[in-house]
Amino acid sequence: MAVSEGNFDLEAARRFHEVTKHSYTSVRAGDHYLDWDNEPFKFKIYPQAPEIALPRELSLSRVPTLTALERGSAPAAPSGTLDMERLARILFCTAGLTRTRRVGDRDYHFRAAPSAGALYPIEVYLATGSIDGVAAGLHHFSPADLKLRMLREGDWRVAISRACAENAGVASATCVLLLSAIFWRSAWKYRARCYRYCFWDTGTILANLTAAAAAEAIDAKIVSAFVDSEIEQLLGIDGDREGAVCLVALNDHGSTAVPTQTSGATAPARPAPLTLDSVPLSNGEQRYDELVRLHCASKLRSRAETEQLFLTGLEATSDQSEEAHQPPSTGSSRTLQLSPAGVGTALGIGETILRRGSTRIFARKPIHSDALAAVLCAAGRHPRIDFPPLTDTYLIVNAVEGVEPGAYLHRRQSAELELLRAGELRAQAGYLCLEQSLGADCSALICFMTDLERVIRARGNRGYRETHLEAGILAGNAYLAAYALGLGASGLTFYDDDTSDFFTGHAKQKSPLLMVAVGIPATARTS
Ligand SMILES: Cc1cc2nc3c(=O)[nH]c(=O)nc-3n(C[C@H](O)[C@H](O)[C@H](O)COP(=O)(O)O)c2cc1C
Per-residue pLDDT, 104: 85
The whole-angstrom distance between residue 479's C-alpha and the CA centroid of its chain comes to 12
Ligand 1 pocket residue status of 478, Cβ below 6 Å: no
Residue 74: beta bridge partners?
none
Percent of the chain scored above 70 by pLDDT? 91
Residue 138: beta bridge partners?
127, 152
Ligand 1 pocket residue status of 96, Cβ below 6 Å: no
Q: What's the pLDDT band for 328 if we cut at 50, 70, 90?
A: low
Least confident of 1-15, 280-294, 407-421, 462-476: 1-15
Please compute the mean of the pLDDT values over residues 322-342 and round it to a whole number: 73
Ligand 1 center–CA 114 separation, angstroms: 6
Domain with CATH 3.40.109.10 in the chain: 35-311, 323-519
Distance between CA atoms of residues 355 and 525, nearest Å:
9
pLDDT in tens, 364-398: 999 999 999 999 999 999 999 999 999 999 999 99
Ligand 1 center–CA 435 separation, angstroms: 15
Per-residue pLDDT, 171: 76
Per-residue pLDDT, 310: 86
Please compute the mean of the pLDDT values over residues 333-360 and round it to a whole number: 90
Per-residue pLDDT, 93: 98
Ligand 1 center–CA 516 separation, angstroms: 9
For residue 427, give the 3-state DSSP assignment. helix
φ, ψ for residue 359 (rounded to 5)? Answer: -70, 135
Ligand 1 pocket residue status of 357, Cβ below 6 Å: yes
Ligand 1 pocket residue status of 115, Cβ below 6 Å: yes
Q: What's the pLDDT band for 56 if we cut at 50, 70, 90?
A: very high
Taking each helix axis from N to C end, the angle separating 194-215 and 289-297, rounded to the nearest 10 degrees, works out to 50
Higher pLDDT, 494 or 269: 494
Per-residue pLDDT, 317: 39
Ligand 1 pocket residue status of 114, Cβ below 6 Å: yes
* Model confidence at 430: pLDDT above 70: yes
Per-residue pLDDT, 322: 57
Least confident of 119-128, 253-262, 394-403, 426-435: 253-262
Distance between CA atoms of residues 442 and 446, nearest Å:
10
Which of 431, 492, 514 maximizes ligand 1 atoms within 8 Å of its Cβ, making it the mutation to test the pocket? Answer: 492
Higher pLDDT, 418 or 256: 418
The alpha-helical segments, DSSP class H, found in 239-327 are 289-297, 303-311
* Model confidence at 304: pLDDT above 80: yes
Answer CATH for 35-311 from 3.40.50.300, 3.40.50.10540, 2.40.100.20, 3.40.109.10: 3.40.109.10
DSSP letter for 326, please. P
Please compute the mean of the pLDDT values over residues 470-489 and round it to a whole number: 98
The region, left, alpha or beta by phi > 0 then psi within -120 to 50, assigned to residue 168 is left
Q: Which residue, judged by its Cα, is nearest atom 22 of ligand 1?
A: 118
* Model confidence at 259: pLDDT above 60: no
What is the homologous superfamily of the domain 323-519 according to CATH?
A: NADH Oxidase (3.40.109.10)
Ligand 1 center–CA 158 separation, angstroms: 37
User: 33 Cβ partners below 8 Å, 6+ apart?
Assistant: none
* Model confidence at 248: pLDDT above 60: yes
Least confident of 118-127, 160-169, 251-260: 251-260
Using an 8 Å Cβ cutoff, are 387 and 300 in contact? no
Identify the H or E element spanning 519: strand 511-519
- Which of 132-136, 170-174, 438-442 tops mean pLDDT? 438-442
pLDDT in tens, 65-96: 999 999 999 988 999 999 999 999 999 999 99
Which one, of 21, 30, 449, lies nearest residue 195 by Cα? Answer: 21
Ligand 1 pocket residue status of 492, Cβ below 6 Å: yes
* Model confidence at 359: pLDDT above 50: yes
Q: Is the pTM of this model over 0.85?
A: yes
